[in-house]
């Protein structure tokens, strides 16, 4: 486990001797949030950075705001897309414009602490086995409470959080530790690792794309760790405000679809046949329960997410074969590090909140 004294001197006094960090931020109709995010990034104490903003076809005037920011700061690069292609595709487009050794991803509704990049860079430089890092995500409006601190895989394929969202930060996670994956609201990854594993899978559109990326980072022979000294504040829930009409569709359809696809791609042979059937069976249970509650549209969207995987079975098989061919660690060696068993009651209690059914994050 890495520990160190995080200060600028450790990074080298001369800017040219410190590695370039490319900060990639995707924006979609986030005019009300992106300016303050950019302002905070520009105040980072680690100064050898470039900032790449990818606008996902915003219709709220974001492009004008971003063009103004670009003119005022030559460290900012702007990529304007003609439609909303989802964060996975947009982040990949942003990375294609980067020159840094390390990639840092932020959501547009975050405000990073000025010190956020220094501990991340220190970890990467000190430990070549670390492929990706998770920042400590705290709630912007309740900064003493957690948003996210990393997750693990459960025995039935759903995610389990290290710390529940909304829990008070009492110093319970003040050391670096291994996790399955990081959340793109505040994370970093070595650029060569990102390219080696093929970046984000654009078939995800949204939800679980970071889980898939982190899992593939492990399978490529690198570790994913939580770095508590890298703090990012996140205004959780802005997607519901920005695009409420599409949110339910994204949560139910993409949440279901991507959970199943992630397991199908990344599980080893034995666990593929042990975990995946149980996982799919539970999703069919969600379909039935939603229908019995009269939530027929929600039931249909979850069913659609399940069926998508069967209609795309050969496409997923191709992805799986490529991943499994290059894997450097077996499930036997990996699972003790990234799997946390939970009682079924844990998931039943999550399930009872019908507002969260199908939400990738609600099962973690």
CB contact burial 128-167 (16+ within 10 A = b; e otherwise): eebbbbbbbbbbbeeeebbbbbbbbbbbbbbbbbbbebeb
Does residue 86 come out as left (phi exceeding 0), alpha (psi in the -120 to 50 range) or beta?
Answer: left
pLDDT tens-digit series, residues 76-93: 999 999 999 999 999 999
Predicted pLDDT of residue 17? 72
pLDDT, tens digit (0-9, with 9 covering 90-100), for 262-294: 999 999 999 999 999 999 999 999 999 999 999
How far is 340 from 75, CA to CA, in rounded Å?
Answer: 42
CA distance 122 to 138: 21
Which long-range CB contacts under 8 A does 60-64 form with residues at least 24 apart?
60/29, 60/30, 60/31, 61/31, 62/27, 62/28, 62/29, 62/30, 62/31, 62/34
223 φ/ψ angles, rounded to the nearest 5 degrees: -105, 155
The mean-pLDDT minimum among 28-32, 36-40, 47-51 falls in 28-32
pLDDT in tens, 173-186: 999 999 999 999 99
Would you call 337 exposed, middle or buried from its count of C-beta atoms within 10 A (0-12, 13-18, 19+)?
middle
User: Confidence class of residue 4 from pLDDT cuts 50, 70 and 90?
Assistant: very low
Rounded to 5°, the CA angle 195-197-200 comes to 80
Q: Classify 17-240 by CATH class.
A: alpha beta
Let me know: does 207 contact 258? Beta carbons within 8 Å.
yes
> Where along the chain do its domains lie?
17-240, 245-363
User: For position 355, what pLDDT does the model report?
Assistant: 44
**222 touches 342 (CB < 8 A):** no
A 10 A CB-CB count for 349 gives 10
Q: Are 109 and 30 in contact (CB under 8 A)?
A: yes
Mean pLDDT of the chain: 90
DSSP-based three-state secondary structure for 275 = helix
pLDDT confidence of residue 10: 45
The predicted-structure confidence for 326-338, as pLDDT tens digits, reads as follows: 999 999 999 999 9
- 231-252 pLDDT per residue, tens: 999 997 665 555 666 778 889 9
End-to-end alpha carbon distance in the chain: 25
Confidence at residue 6, expressed as pLDDT on a 0 to 100 scale? 39
The two structure tokens encoding residue 288: 């039935």
The model's pLDDT over 297-334, given as tens digits with 9 standing for 90+, comes to 999 999 999 999 999 999 999 999 999 999 999 999 99
310/293 Cα distance (integer angstroms): 26
Distance between CA atoms of residues 41 and 37, nearest Å: 6
For residue 99, what is the enclosing H or E element?
none
Query: What's the confidence (pLDDT) of residue 24?
Result: 98
User: Which 8-state DSSP code applies to residue 252?
Assistant: I
pLDDT value, residue 247: 77
Model confidence pLDDT, tens digit, residues 131-176: 999 999 999 999 999 999 999 999 999 999 999 989 999 999 999 9
Per-residue pLDDT at 94 exceeds 80: yes
Contact 62, 30 (CB under 8 A): yes
pLDDT digits (tens, 9 = 90+) for 192-225: 999 999 999 999 999 999 999 999 999 999 999 9
Both tokens of residue 230? 């890298």
**What pTM, to 2 d.p., does this model score?**
0.91
**Sign of torsion, CA 333 337 338 339?**
positive
3-class DSSP assignment, residue 128: coil
Distances from the Cα of 97 to the Cα of 35, 47, 72, 93, 310, angstroms: 21, 19, 19, 7, 35
Q: How far is CA 351 from CA 19, 152, 158, 306, 356, in A?
A: 45, 18, 12, 17, 7
């Amino acid at each position: 486990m890495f520990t160190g004294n995080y200060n600028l001197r450790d990074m080298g006094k001369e800017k040219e001797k410190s590695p370039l960090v490319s900060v990639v931020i995707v924006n979609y109709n986030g005019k009300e949030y992106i300016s303050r995010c950019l302002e905070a990034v520009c105040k980072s104490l680690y100064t050898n950075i470039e900032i790449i903003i990818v606008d996902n076809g915003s219709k709220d005037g974001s492009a004008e705001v971003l063009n103004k920011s670009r003119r005022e700061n030559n460290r900012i690069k702007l990529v304007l897309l003609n439609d909303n292609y989802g964060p996975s595709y947009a982040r990949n487009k942003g990375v294609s414009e980067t020159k840094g050794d390390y990639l840092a991803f932020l959501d547009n509704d975050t405000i990073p602490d000025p010190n956020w990049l220094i501990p991340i860079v220190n970890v990467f430089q000190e430990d070549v086995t670390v492929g990706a890092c998770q920042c400590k995500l705290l709630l912007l409006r309740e900064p003493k409470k957690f948003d996210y601190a990393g997750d693990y895989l459960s025995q039935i394929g759903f995610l389990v959080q290290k710390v529940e969202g909304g829990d008070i930060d009492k110093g319970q996670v003040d050391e670096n530790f291994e996790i399955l994956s990081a959340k793109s609201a505040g994370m970093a990854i070595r650029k060569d690792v990102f390219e080696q594993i093929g970046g984000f899978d654009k078939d995800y559109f949204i939800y679980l794309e970071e889980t898939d990326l982190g899992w593939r980072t492990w399978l490529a022979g690198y570790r994913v760790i939580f770095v508590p000294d890298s703090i990012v504040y996140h205004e959780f829930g802005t997607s519901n405000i920005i695009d409420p009409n599409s949110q339910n569709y994204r949560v139910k359809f993409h949440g279901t679809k991507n959970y199943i696809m992630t397991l199908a791609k990344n599980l080893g042979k034995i666990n593929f046949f042990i975990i995946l059937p149980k996982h799919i069976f539970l999703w069919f249970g969600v379909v039935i329960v939603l229908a019995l509650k009269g939530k027929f549209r929600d039931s249909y969207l979850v069913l659609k997410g399940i069926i998508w995987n069967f209609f795309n079975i050969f496409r997923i098989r191709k992805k799986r074969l490529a991943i499994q061919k290059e894997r450097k660690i077996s499930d036997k060696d990996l699972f003790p590090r990234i799997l946390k068993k939970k009682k079924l009651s844990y998931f039943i209690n999550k399930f009872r909140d019908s507002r969260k059914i199908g939400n990738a994050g609600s099962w973690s």
